Structure 1
Amino acid sequence: MTEQTATAPRPLEGVRVLDLTVALAGPYGTLLLAGLGAEVIKIEAPQGGDIARFNPPFHGKDGIHFDALEDGDISLSILARARSKKSVSLDLKTDDGRRIFHELVKHADVVFENLSDGVVERLGVDYETLRKINPRIVYGSVTGLGRPSLYPGVKAMDITVQALSGAMDTTGYQDGPPMRFGLPISDLLAPLYAVIGVQAALRQRDRTGKGQHVVVSMLECLSSLLAFEHFDVFQRHGFPARSGNYHNRLTPFGVYATRDGHVSIAAANDAWTRSIFEAMGRPELIEDPRFASRGPRATNADVLNRLIEDWTSQHSSEEVIRMLATERSVPCVPVRTALESLSDPALFAAGTLQQLEHPVDGKIDAVGGGVPIHMSGSAVGLERPAALLGSDNAGVLGQLLGLDDAALAELKARKVI
């Protein structure tokens, strides 16, 4: 964050979000809203409602460990996903819990949830109920398979969504099985669309005075991206869905072994391809009808990739990068390990990565993602560590609803909060 943006207003300043999310797909969306400046109030059952609280590894009195959850332990998942959010414990299964939530809705701009099908209706916190309380409410739902579900009875998890979407069929090698993407990509993609939809709905509400229900599904978001690569056309014309570390439509475009590691090369145009052939000492290959232009290179990708890797494997990664990127301006970089990337000082300086903090113990030996959005006139970021469960009960319920210490103590005694 620059000196200018450190004192700048936050883009979503003044927007209050009631966060009913669990797992990853929902909490990541509200994390982004918090990073953009919204006041996010995470609401969970008094014993903890977000299933991420039970995800190892945990931080406890002896540091980070993968053992069973013990008293005082906090999951790193919660420490990462609940940053810059206030924490209110509230049992929505009780009449008083629902009544308090409905009162909070009167003071809110957004409700954001990713609960299982039917849960919000059973709890009385569904959109149709809440819009009668506050017609201006924008209600964001991140679902697995849509609401109503496109496939009733099917359980949606990231790996099942990857499988249903067809994305898994595009990952891996032609002679191998479909491969799961290394990150929970549908869990992370859907909330991006949800945040876009919620912000658009807030913009419309400011014009019309009316909120609305914004629904995205993990399956639809991931499937929509699949269509942009025209896998249907390619497979009808004999191209395999899976091409390993190569993007055959753009060959030379892929990951190539070197003598001491791997490099990523992206030489989609004729000039860059010619430069690779020159570095290889084979300038005549650009005249070969198989490699002279992008179309033939795509249909002869396997041959071309083997030729290039035969060359790269004779040199170190540093040598290949020097010959291609430094001397000929061909896009070529080393393939870094995840640990190398997560230790990059440049990414920390940019705010893309940050060291996680425990609400009591301070900074710990773990990395969390920041908000990778840079704005010239706004402050963006996650400055507050995750709050302890229920630690904002008095502040939120007292400030917004006027509940005094005696009322809060009585609600706590009855396990409503």
Structure 2
Amino acid sequence: MAIRRPLDGMLVLDLGQIYNGPYCGMLLGFMGARVLKIEPPEGDVVRRRKRDVEPYPLVMLNSNKESVVLDLKHERGKQIFLDLARKADVVVENFAVGVMDRLGIGWEVLRTVNPRLVYGGSSGYGLDGPYRSLAAMDVTIQAMSGIMSATGQQDGPPTKAGPAVCDFMAGIHLCAGILGALVQRERTGEGQRVEVAMHEAAVIGLASALGAMMDGDANVPERTGNRHPALAIAPYNTYPCADGHVAIFTSAERHWQAMCGLLGRADLLEAPGYATMPERAQRMAEIDDMISAWTIGRTKEEVMGLLNEAHVPCSIVKTVREVAQDPHLEARGFWVDVDHPRRGRTRVPISPIRLHTGGRAEIRTPAPTLGQHTDAVLAELLGLGPDERAALAASGTTTPVR
């Protein structure tokens, strides 16, 4: 008997743009939901980065979705969306506050159309508060949340994190909130609104830096480079090797003891100023110099092998290219090669969420081209005939911009 996935039979209308909303929609799709990617005639913002072929991030984040083009500023387009919402279980959007209301398809309208609907929305700063109307993108949220202030070298400027951490943290929280609301709907029969502010989701990641501030440690700078955010652990840093860098983290006394053995410095185990973690944290620069002198004459693979054998937490600092070819991710089946109709053979990830009794995460279809499924969806779900579908296309309501 085929395994039923948790969201099999559920319909999601994904209005998400860029990374935040689309990632949430993708996770729901991997759990079995049918996800309709509702796009304006010009397409998702990411889709517009390249006109000749779909940009990789769009293909990466929109597996298992169907693209339906609807001009929501057109009265008939709005009506079609409301008709789809009557059949939907979930709506996902990450527009600025007020956009959905101005379009006439906000929560108050949708809850009347479909009381069982779960409406998941993620904005920059939330539905209320003094920042609610501020424009928000990942980089601005990194700045406002403190992530940028906490990133970089102590004597350098605030620096954004390389990845779009705020977009994806918000998307993960939005997915979790929607799943919780679906569970509650099973108990009450009623849907609800789920709200996630990117700002709040990002602040959670500052646990160690906030800890230093909340605990009143005035000696900890805002930025600590690759050292511990609260400067509470040593060694904790990246160290140079003959062919790159490794990251080393000693969170327990047994790690420090093993490290001393590798360094040939068993004398430090009893030496004054090294006996406890707080004492070692006061000698951070000295300890870093000792470890760098040991790593610099070895390759990163050699260092990692020795540290792993000694059970000291460590990792090679991998480049993006190395991550794309990582043998562990290969063995786990994280990367899947799909045949995209315009890009050709393209490598994309599956969901990091693995439900061991809820069906394996599979890419059933690659990310769609703009409006690829509009005609079929309107015929199947709304029963629109060929003449009406043709009229909608002729009016520009359902025709993509090419």
- In structure 1, what is the equivalent of residue 27 of structure 2? 32
Letter in 1 for 2:294: W
Structure 1, 273-282 or 148-157: larger mean CA deviation = 148-157
SS in 2 for 1:236: coil
Pick closer, same or farther for the CA change 1:80–1:318 going to 2, 3 Å: closer
Question: Does structure 1 residue 53 correspond to structure 2 residue 33?
Answer: no
Whole-Å Cα distance in 2 between the matches of residues 320 and 77 of structure 1?
34
How far apart are 1:186 and its partner, in Å?
0.1
Note the residue ranges of structure 2 that are not aligned, 5 or more in a row: none
Aligned CA distance change for structure 1 residues 257 and 314 (closer, same or farther; 3 Å): same
Tell me how far apart the structure 2 counterparts of residues 319 and 18 of structure 1 sit (CA, whole Å). Answer: 50
Distance, in Å, in 1 between the alignment partners of 2:18 and 2:343 is: 24
Aligned match of 1:334 = 316
Partner of 1:17: 12
Summarize the Cα distance change of 1:352–1:150 in structure 2 as closer, same or farther, 3 Å threshold: farther
- Write the letter of the residue equivalent to 2:83: E
In the alignment, structure 1 residue 238 sits paired with structure 2 residue 233: no
Length-normalised TM-score, structure 2 = 0.92
Aligned length: 394
RMSD: 1.9
What's the counterpart of residue 348 of structure 1? Answer: 330
What is the CA deviation profile of residues 172-211 of structure 1, one whole-angstrom value per residue up to 9, with x for unaligned ones? 1111111111101001110100000000001001110111
Please say if 1:200 is aligned against 2:180: yes
Give the secondary-structure state (helix, strand or coil) at the position aligned to 2:160.
Answer: coil
1:109 positional shift: 0.4
How many percent of aligned residue pairs carry the same amino acid? Answer: 38
Counterpart CA distance in 2 for 1:123 and 1:382 is 33
State whether residues 108 and 137 of structure 1, in contact with CA within 8 Å, keep that contact through their aligned partners in structure 2: yes
Whether 2:275 is the aligned partner of 1:292: answer yes
The C-alpha deviation readout for 1:226-268, integer Å capped at 9, x for no partner, is: 1455131466331223221122323222211123221121221
State whether structure 2 residue 392 is matched by structure 1 residue 411.
Answer: yes
Match of 2:155 in 1: 175
Q: 1:379, 1:314 → 2: CA distance?
A: 44
Aligned residue identity for 2:121: S
Q: Where does 1:135-146 land on structure 2 (aligned, <5 Å)? A: 135-146=115-126
Partners of 1:400 and 1:287 in 2: how far apart? Answer: 74
Are 1:395 and 2:390 counterparts? no
Q: Cα 1:110–1:152, aligned 2, differ >3 Å: closer, same or farther?
A: closer
Cα offset for 1:213?
0.7
Q: Report if aligned partners of 2:42, 2:48 keep a CA contact under 8 Å in 1.
A: no
Partner amino acid, structure 1, of 2:122: V
More deviation, 292-301/407-416: 292-301
Q: CA deviation at 1:140?
A: 0.3
1:343 is aligned with what amino acid?
A: Q
Supply the distance in 1 between the matched residues of 2:106 and 2:275 (Cα, whole angstroms): 59
Q: Is the 8 A contact 1:259 1:314 kept in 2?
A: yes
Deviates more, 1:397-406 or 1:204-213: 397-406
Q: 2:126·2:132 contact (CA, 8 Å) conserved in 1? A: no
Q: Look up the match of 1:223.
A: 203
1:341 Cα shift?
A: 1.2
Q: Distance in 2 between matches of 1:357 and 1:143?
A: 33
CA contact (8 A) 1:19 1:40 kept: yes
Compute the TM-score of the two structures, normalised by the length of structure 1.
Answer: 0.89
Residues 360, 182 of structure 1: alpha-carbon distance in 2 compared, 3 angstrom cutoff? closer
Q: Give the secondary-structure state (helix, strand or coil) at the position aligned to 2:67.
A: strand
Structure 1 consecutive aligned stretches of length 4 or more whose deviation exceeds 6 Å: none
Cα deviation code 1:274-304 (max 9, x no counterpart): 1111111111112223221112122332222
Q: How many Å separate the matches in 2 of 1:75 and 1:315? A: 39
Question: Residue 83 of structure 1: CA displacement?
Answer: 1.4
Alignment partners' CA distance in 1, 2:257 and 2:80: 68
Equivalent residue of 1:141, what SS? strand
Q: Deviations over 1:290-348 (max 9, x none)?
A: 2211121223322222222122223332332343222x222233222111111124313
Indicate conservation of the 8 Å contact 2:97/2:126, yes or no: no
> Equivalents in 2 of 1:363, 1:369: separation in Å?
13
Q: Is the 8 A contact 1:351 1:381 kept in 2?
A: no
Distance 1:412 1:209 in 2: 37
> 2 CA distance for matches of 1:349 and 1:271?
30
For 1:325 and 1:255, the matched residues in 2 are separated by 16
| Aligned residue number for residue 169 of structure 2 | 189
- CA gap 1:47/1:278 in 2 versus in 1, 3 angstroms: closer
Which runs of 5 or more structure 1 residues have no equivalent in the other structure? 59-68
Query: How far has the Cα of 1:28 moved from its partner?
Result: 1.0
Offset, 1:18: 0.6
Residue 318 to residue 88, structure 1, CA distance change in 2 (3 Å)? closer
Offset at 1:357? 3.6
Distance 2:364 2:380 in 1: 22
